[in-house]
Amino acid sequence: MIALLALLLISLAISLDISIMDLVRWIPPRLERLQDSIGKAWGEFRSPKSHPGTGAATSTSFKPLPRVVMAGYAGRRLSGTGKREHNYPEGKLC
């Protein structure tokens, strides 16, 4: 694979009449920009957006949903056998 890449670079340099250094001169600045952008993105990813107790995470507009008791489920409990007991009217299953 490396030999094919070297052959490609040499053939491009000969056919375009450009030195190898001129042919790959654009690579280091692009790599630096890529490293800078990756470092910046990683820094933003690693920095906490908000800490518990501050910011939008502790909005006072939070209201929990009301508890709704459905008919027939009000007396539901687990017995010692692990079976659920329900207060369904006789003959009617939901």
Question: Would you state the pLDDT for residue 52?
Answer: 54
pLDDT along the chain (94 residues), means of 10: 92 90 90 93 76 55 74 54 58 56
Question: Would you state the pLDDT for residue 67?
Answer: 76
The domain limits of the chain are 2-46
Encode burial over 75-90: b for 16+ CB neighbours within 10 A, e otherwise.
eeeeeeeeeeeeeeee
Distance in angstroms (rounded) separating the CA atoms of residues 60 and 50 = 16
Distances, alpha carbon 4 to alpha carbons 10, 15, 21, 28, 61, in Å:
10, 16, 18, 21, 64
Question: Would you state the pLDDT for residue 7?
Answer: 94
Alpha helices of the chain — where are they, by DSSP H?
2-16, 20-23, 27-46
User: Which amino acid, 46?
Assistant: R
Question: Would you state the pLDDT for residue 85?
Answer: 57
Q: 């909005």: which residue's tokens?
A: 59
Question: Would you state the pLDDT for residue 28?
Answer: 92
